[in-house]
Structure 1
Amino acid sequence: MATFRRQVTTLAVAHALSAAERGLAVLPLSRTKLPALRSPHRTDPAQPPCRGECGRPGHGVHDASTDPARIRALFAAAPWATGYGIACGLPPHHLVGVDLDTKPGTDAPAALRALGLRFRFAIPETVVVLTPSGGRHLWLTAPPDTVVPNSASRLAPGIDIRGAGGYLVGPGSRTAHGVYVTAPGTARLRPAPCPRNLLRLLVPPPRPPRRRPRPSPAFPGDGQGLLHFVLTAHEGQRNTRLFWAACRAHESGLGPALTVPLLEAALAT
């Protein structure tokens, strides 16, 4: 059994080094598909968790590397590793993984085809990895300036997305459920660019710009005018206008009611 485990780990290292030669950053995984190395901060409450800045291994996807020496060191620290993960979102490929699951009651491939018909995109020829459970991982790439987040069943049931901060189980990895293999005819391919219309579905829309608060209608007359006076202040006028408006508010008896709205107006500028 010990000999078989060493052979499995040796094979995982070989596959990981091969992926690294293609520019894919890798890290060792256990049979459970989780990072094989545990956090070095788990028993040190005085040391806050980090993303590898401490220099020690055990930071999950942040351990991923394309450096052969670093990869061998990671696997040497985790001799029980049986597979490897490929970090997504990193240069030069900026990999995006489309994970089509096979959970009971779901048909992820059909759901992806339906999305393609609805939003007018087609998945190009690309690397496809077959999972032991019967699912498949589609490897795509994103533009360098685009950050694709991870998601689970957001597009449709059974379709998970692996983006920045996530990883894909690499082909050749052995897990508790079996071995991940590259689909026939796709190992020679390079990851294809993600179709533009699909990419739009994967990237969350930008947040709307923050609007300046409008003067409250609860303060008629001088109240609204004072708020407007502060809201329209330009650089170099803001402190003076706020002081002047605050003085006028208190002189007119509106001071207690306008204190908070004037402060909010000043902060908004």
Structure 2
Amino acid sequence: MPTMLEMALSYQQHGFAVYPLAPGTRTPLKGSHGYKDATTDPKQAEAWWGEHPDYNIGLGLDGMLVFDIDMGHKSAADGNESLAKLSADGRAGQIPSTYIETTPNGGLHMFFTYPKNIKLTSRADLFSKSGEKTGLDYTALGVPVFPSIRENGMYQPLKGHKITKLSPAPQWLLTEIQRVNHPNPNLGSAAYTGKRWSGRLLDEMVAGTGNGNRNDFLTRIAGKLFFTGADPVTVYNLLFTTNDSYLDSPLPEAEVNKIFKSVLKAEERRRAVG
């Protein structure tokens, strides 16, 4: 088994930029800029992993996207089942042979190239019609890669697949990604007239925030979600969706749980007095 440093240098030698993740997690180091720190400089890799050999490896996805098929996710969504239904309905086509890694939760990360004239970021629950969880996500920012390890397992490449041999993303996937990134492009400004408080809240969630005030941002979002009268389970799921999909560097799961519990206690006190 190669060391983290050996693999980080190997990725760089093949032209890929890497950045460190906190040990045993998919989370960027505290105070870092996550995928924005990704570099092909071997001296920087030696500084990171030479001093901290237990850092996980993040891969900067410049010109690449990862189609994430979730299994065993906290939302209980079954990505394989969703993809099978989409194929049966004619909404998803064939998946070309490309580099694939299995994730610690038993899911799949499929790596593709895409045209650089398209601007992509990340999004959870592709192909969702009514807000349901599909377990089909994508990111074009950064992602943990082999041999990164989490408490429930390691990111592992499928046999016979090499990261140097990536296929272009299938058109049906790019079409869906562009649909959710730029919904209803022909509606014009009329679509935004009379925006209500809940609409502004949703815009705020999707806009996200920088690394400097992630805790305050998620605390504020949780409070506003509770103010809508939403059930705690709904607030919990939306808080994680905001953290995982709309922050450049998501907070660790334990930190988001801590924020949720704190705001929940405050909300319980408020409702008791009311």
TM-score bucket (shorter structure): 0.5 to 0.7
Shift of residue 188, structure 1, vs aligned partner: 6.5
Q: Deviations over 1:103-140 (max 9, x none)?
A: 37532123224334523521100011011221111111
Does residue 67 in structure 1 map to residue 41 in structure 2? Answer: yes
Counterpart for residue 271 of structure 2: none
Structure with the largest fraction of helix: 2
Q: 1:29: which partner in 2?
A: 21
- Which of 154, 157, 160 is the aligned partner of 1:182? 157
**Corresponding residue number in structure 2 for 1:151:** 123
* Structure 1 letter corresponding to 2:167: A
Specify which of 125, 128, 131 is matched with residue 97 of structure 2: 125
User: Counterpart of 2:56?
Assistant: 83
Equivalents in 2 of 1:136, 1:199: separation in Å? 18
Residues 83-102 of structure 1 show CA distances to partners (whole Å, capped at 9, x for unaligned) of 101112x1xxx110011111
Whether 1:172 aligns to 2:147 is yes
Q: For 2:20 and 2:138, how far apart are their aligned partners in 1?
A: 21
> What are structure 1's unaligned runs of at least 5 residues?
1-7, 40-57, 213-269
1:107 matched to 2:78: yes
Q: Secondary structure at the match of 2:86?
A: helix
**Does the 8 Å contact 1:20/1:26 carry over to 2?**
yes
TM-score (norm 2): 0.58
* 1:15 Cα deviation from its structure 2 partner: 1.1
Secondary structure at 1:161's aligned position in 2? Answer: strand
Aligned residue runs from structure 1 range 206-245, under 5 A: 207-208=185-186
Unaligned segments of structure 2, at least 5 residues: 129-133, 191-274
Q: Deviations over 1:141-177 (max 9, x none)?
A: 11011112201113351111112xx311111112222
Amino acid at match of 2:105: S
Q: Is the 8 A contact 1:82 1:175 kept in 2?
A: no
Q: Does 1:98 align with 2:70?
A: no
Of structures 1 and 2, the larger Rg is shown by 1
Give, in whole Å, the separation in 2 of the partners of 1:189 and 1:75. Answer: 22
Q: What is residue 220 of structure 1 aligned with on the other side?
A: none
Partner of 1:162: 139
SS at match of 1:119: coil
How many residue pairs get matched? Answer: 178
Q: Offset at 1:73?
A: 2.3
Shift of 1:76: 4.6
Describe the SS at the equivalent of 2:4: helix
Give 4+ residue runs of structure 1 displaced > 4 Å after superposition. 209-212
Letter in 1 for 2:38: A
Shift of 1:200: 1.0
Residue identity (%): 26
Contact kept? 2:102, 2:157, Cα under 8 Å: yes
Q: Give the alignment's Cα RMSD to 1 decimal.
A: 2.5
**Which residue of the other structure, out of 11, 15, 40, is the alignment partner of 2:7?**
15
Query: TM-score, normalization: structure 1?
Result: 0.59
